[in-house]
Structure 1
Amino acid sequence: MQTYLTTEQLATRIHYEPRTIRNNLKDTVLLEGVHYFRPFGGRKILYIWEHIERDMHQGAAERDISIPMASGAVCHG
């Protein structure tokens, strides 16, 4: 079973403004057919929470966070 969210509901869950989702995330990191769809071919957009949550966690795990140390070593966080 999947959880479908409106833009406003998604914004509440991920702590972004709905406008940021519409203007910056949709069609760049949130892709039609993967993260959202338009039911019945209409204008309304429904986001698939489980797909977004999976990809948010995957992106965080793939990022390499390195902190250069004064000694020249690198600490990986």
Structure 2
Amino acid sequence: MGTEYTYLTTEELSERIKYDCRTIRQSLKDSVLIEGKHYIKPFGRRKILYLWEAVEEEMLHGTRTSSLEIPMANGGVCYG
């Protein structure tokens, strides 16, 4: 057997992490939550399913900042 995942809709993820659905769609998706790692679009459709285990791992541990990343005041990162 392979790895089992818990698939969540945006609304279900919103309930678990206590963020508004709009915040997830507009601020987190594609900046913090990356397609193929944190979410998928099954069958090439518009529907998005979040992989709970990957999202939880990101929340608990986050991405490790390398020595070449410089944090910016607006929340972005400059790769020097």
Higher helix share: 1
Report 1:56-67 matches (<5 A): 56-59=59-62
Query: What RMSD, in angstroms, separates the aligned Cα atoms of the two structures?
Result: 1.7
Consecutive unaligned residues of structure 2, counting only runs of 5 or more, are 65-80
Paired positions, count:
62
Cα deviation, 1:18-77, whole Å, max 9, x if unaligned, reads 000000000000000000010000000000000000111112xx6xxxxxxxxxxxxxxx
Q: 2:16 pairs with 13, 16, 19, which one?
A: 13
**Residue 41 of structure 1 aligns with which residue?**
44
Percent identity over paired residues: 60
Amino acid at match of 1:4: Y
Stretches of structure 1 that go unaligned for 5 or more consecutive residues are: 63-77
TM-score of the superposed pair, with normalisation by structure 2 = 0.73
Bigger CA radius of gyration: 1
Distance 2:46 2:23 in 1: 18
Runs (4+) of structure 1 moved beyond 6 Å?
none
Q: TM-score under structure 1 normalisation?
A: 0.76
